[in-house]
């Protein structure tokens, strides 16, 4: 099977006021089409940093990234933005919803950016909002929503474009087990019906067990865990 995302010897440093922080190095990761994998690891180990690199939101210090077989880092900013919009759905750890806009508008944006007509974008946004049980919140701004509701809006926004690749940073971190499970079932359904591939960062072992493979980040490396 071909890989949707692949890294070669990926390494990331952050430059700090005093010296350099090496977050990880030598990461060879491969996600095959249709796979659902979890990434675990203690706070501060580099999970968000890795996801940001996989989602082309930040640049590695060394190594290569291939998406659908295409080398990404040599592309222009414009090409990278297009690949992001077309292929990747991203759920941020802290949601990053736009506060000035309603739930419906937040979820519609990825479609509008892609050139979908407004009415059709809103219809699709409603449809995915109802999948996460939030259609009633469509006219409200994020500040009127609870943390878990905002998290579900962020998930709806990531999925509305029917991405090939979902990168989700603690997508159920603020949800009770039942609501979190519903989201995971929605994601798993999209794997089966639409061939979605996903990387999910989580601290929760129960959630990790939902995934086919579980990776652990530790001591600047990432390793595949034996089945939990
Ligand atoms: N922009 C940045 N500049 C400098 N250092 C950073 C930056 N972002 C993260 N770091 C550092 O890099 C390390 C990894 O951070 P990261 O956010 O990837 O961790 P994480 O595994 O996602 O943690 P958590 O589970 O708490 O979300 C941490 O030591 C953090 O302090
Ligand atoms: Mg994080």
How do the domains of the chain map onto residue ranges? 3-98+148-224
Closest ligand relative to 52 C-alpha = 1
Residues contacting residue 169 through CB under 8 Å, at least 6 positions apart: 47, 48, 51, 91, 92, 93, 201
Could you identify the atom of ligand 1 that is nearest to the CA of residue 52? 18
If pLDDT is split at 50, 70 and 90, which confidence band does 202 have? very high
The rounded mean pLDDT for the chain is 94
Nearest to 50 by CA among 35, 69, 37, 32: 37
Average confidence (pLDDT) over 181-208: 91
What separation in Å is there between the alpha carbon of 202 and the centre of ligand 2?
A: 9
Q: Which of 22, 41, 46 is the pocket-test mutation for ligand 1 (most atoms within 8 Å of CB)?
A: 46
pTM (2 d.p.):
0.94
pLDDT the model gives residue 123: 97
Average confidence (pLDDT) over 20-43: 96
Tell which wins on pLDDT, 147 or 198: 198
If pLDDT is split at 50, 70 and 90, which confidence band does 1 have? low
- Please give the CATH number for the structural domain made up of 3-98+148-224: 3.40.50.300
- Residue labelled with tokens 């996460």: 132
If pLDDT is split at 50, 70 and 90, which confidence band does 228 have? low
Contact 12 CB / ligand 1 (< 6 Å): no
């Amino acid at each position: 099977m071909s890989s949707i995302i692949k890294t070669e010897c990926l390494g990331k440093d952050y430059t700090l006021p005093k010296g350099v922080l090496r977050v990880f190095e030598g990461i060879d990761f491969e996600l095959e089409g249709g796979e659902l994998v979890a990434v675990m690891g203690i706070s501060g180990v580099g999970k968000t940093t890795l996801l940001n690199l996989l989602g082309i939101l930040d640049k590695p210090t060394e190594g290569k990234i291939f998406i659908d077989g295409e080398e990404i880092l040599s592309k222009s900013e414009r090409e990278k933005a297009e690949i992001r919009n077309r292929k990747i759905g991203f759920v941020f750890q802290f949601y990053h919803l736009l506060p000035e806009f309603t739930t419906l508008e937040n979820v519609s944006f990825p479609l509008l950016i892609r050139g979908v007509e407004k009415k059709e974008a809103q219809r699709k946004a409603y449809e995915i909002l109802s999948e996460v049980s939030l259609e009633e919140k469509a006219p409200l701004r994020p500040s009127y929503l609870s943390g878990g509701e905002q998290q579900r809006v962020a998930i709806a926004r990531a999925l509305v474009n029917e991405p090939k690749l979902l990168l989700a940073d603690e997508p159920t971190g603020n949800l009770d087990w039942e609501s979190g499970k519903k989201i995971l079932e929605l994601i798993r359904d999209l794997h089966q019906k639409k061939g979605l591939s996903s990387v999910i960062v989580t601290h929760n072992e129960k959630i990790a067990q939902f995934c086919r493979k579980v990776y652990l980040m530790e001591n600047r490396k990432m390793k595949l865990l034996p089945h939990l």
